[in-house]
Structure 1
Amino acid sequence: MTEETPALLKDILDPQALETIGDAGVAASPHFDRPVFLSAALAGLDALSIMERVRHIADALHTALPGDYAVALDIVRAMAPRLTHGFQAMAVTEYVARYGLNDFDRSMEALADLTRFGSAEFAIRPFLAADTPRALATMRQWAGSADEHVRRLASEGARPRLPWAARVPALKADPTLAAPILEMLKADPSLYVRKSVANHLNDIAKDRPEWLLGRLAAWPQDDARTAWIIRHALRTLIKKGDPAALALIGVGHGAAVSVRDFSIAPSAVHLGDRIAIKADLASDSSENQRLVVDYRVHYARAGGKSAAKVFKLKTFELAARETASLGISQTIRDFSTRRHHPGRHEVELIVNGQTMATAAFDIPVTD
């Protein structure tokens, strides 16, 4: 599939994409009603967000497919290889989520097939909510698949805090329910799968940090793939300076270092400007030290309040009595999840979980 990201995310599923889906339906079966699909899919499309469009298109597919679900599902599965973007395929998998709950086994088999073309991580959620043990049992079988897309779905679909997805009540109550799946994938050869496992474990860290630390402490790190998952799974706890999390990646809490310089330039910026953050660390130890260096920005908010966010700077080995110069630049710009306000922005330099120095930059008030 060829995938291009437009200026607005929702425009991935624009009228041209609907034409592509309609063409795929006609190519898959003469029983697919393309005009009916396009009429239903185009209605009200412009006002919808990307995930609303996914659901809207799934409902439009329902109007154009045969009423017999088994027949319709065969058509849907034949459509998927003809689609040109993962979000198009996600809309097709959403059809299964919305209309296939009463045919559990057939639908789950279809999702394992369709996920190769556009992840079925969202479409699996209603099945997990409807019958959590049954769905997890099937997904545990998927964890042994030869296909990395299916193995990833076993982990990603069961994430307790999957972004953009509805929470599954059973996983919200016990975010560790998919632990047997994660055990099977803890040394997966695919980075695509390992990223999902790490993200899944990081979700658990936000609700059950003690469980996570105990589980990961039992995982052997002599396999580089497992060690990679552990490091990335612990990122939230490491940013918080959790001593047990730091110990699991071979880092002590705190470090024998002196900060010779911690500076931010320029000291005053406007939206769109870049700041350069510089830190010079000198070892005070006669032994080598493994350092995890982060920085925490306290973003100014209205009313004199602030909101903090931790960013990674560098993880490295500092030789005995040596000095290291670190630097990074960051553009000051708004995101949908973070808007900048005028005021003083304090920045902390964090070494192995402890604040070692502070600096600041200002965003001035503009007319």
Structure 2
Amino acid sequence: MSISRLISLALPFFLCLCFAVPTVRADNWAVRVLERSMTGSLGLPVPTHPVENRPTADKIRLGRKIFFDRRLSLNRTMSCGMCHIPEQGFGNHELQKAVGFEGRSLRRNAPTLVNAAFYETLFWDGRETGFETQFISPLLAANEMANPSAGQVVALIEELSDYDGAFEQAFGQPVSLHRIGEVLAAYQRSLIAANSPFDRWRFGGDTNAISEQQQRGYQLFTGKAGCSQCHQIGETSALFTDNAYHDTGYGWMREHERQNPPSHHPVEVAPGVVFHVSRKQIDDVSGPSLPDLGRYEVTQNPADSWKYRTPILRNVALTAPYMHDGGFAKLRDVLDFYNRGGASHDQQSPLIRPLGLTEAELQDLEAFLQALTSADFAELAREARVEEPDNW
């Protein structure tokens, strides 16, 4: 038998080994996801669904398909899942700031979508009020999916044969812009992961679920460090956000750095491998760095300058990099920033102050944050890959 014949016989088997996703069956995954979407998870309240968009298995299945369909961008290369990568917590570990159409950089980090169902507003600046409309701006933004119009996307789905009958099955009606939003919303609201060691300890009554060090970290989190003032913990559940906007000093600090860039910038090309690249070299290959005024860009109220929404801290150990622009690579970087009192500029929130935490206390606090990792986190990625993404 020829070598080419052997390769032709072996290739399909090799591809199956590379791309098969075990443990999640394609025939019933959406039904299980629907149940989770309606009942929640230990440590979280039951998600709220709009009356006009109650989730169904058909909506969730169709929303997942659209989420990963790269054909729905102008050059057929970008999808929601290109920035919100399931295996990376529906965020992106490799990039500080998201990269979209033809390699164009965005100003901000692609945050995790896990548990985003519990946000009252969306995006770092809260400019959207719900998933049903949130998808439109990435579809049309020139540096994201770059479509010339929303109508073009609707027309494209009408033309694609693998969508034949899908919206009719989910709604009894054909594809439309608002129905695209509804299925994407149904899928994204199903990305729920709690049931962490902390939840089992705090809400499940398992006194051994977290270590003594993590318990000390919890006392710091709710006490001396003051983290829970914004990352709130309730009596029966914990969102780890107040759904409010705060000037922590970080945004102001980054704007100061933008206006006064250092002569060299550290670039980490591999873990622990850092090159110090000159500012001229960076400027030669990049576009101009743009200002980011946070919530002010939505409200036009000067008091909202450099305010950003409090992120949910669940699974935070798995969702680096941190802050609105991904400027901190490690949790310890974040803790050190807050321990020294932020950037200490005039308009910084009074909640941000020097904490005086010792090295041992910082280690305890970081250990507690590790206890917020959900036992169900990896299951979301397996469900996302249960069916082949379109336009592979």
Please, what TM-score do these two structures have when normalized by structure 2?
A: 0.22
Larger RCO (CA under 8 A, 6+ residues apart): 2
Please, what TM-score do these two structures have when normalized by structure 1?
A: 0.24
Bigger radius of gyration: 1
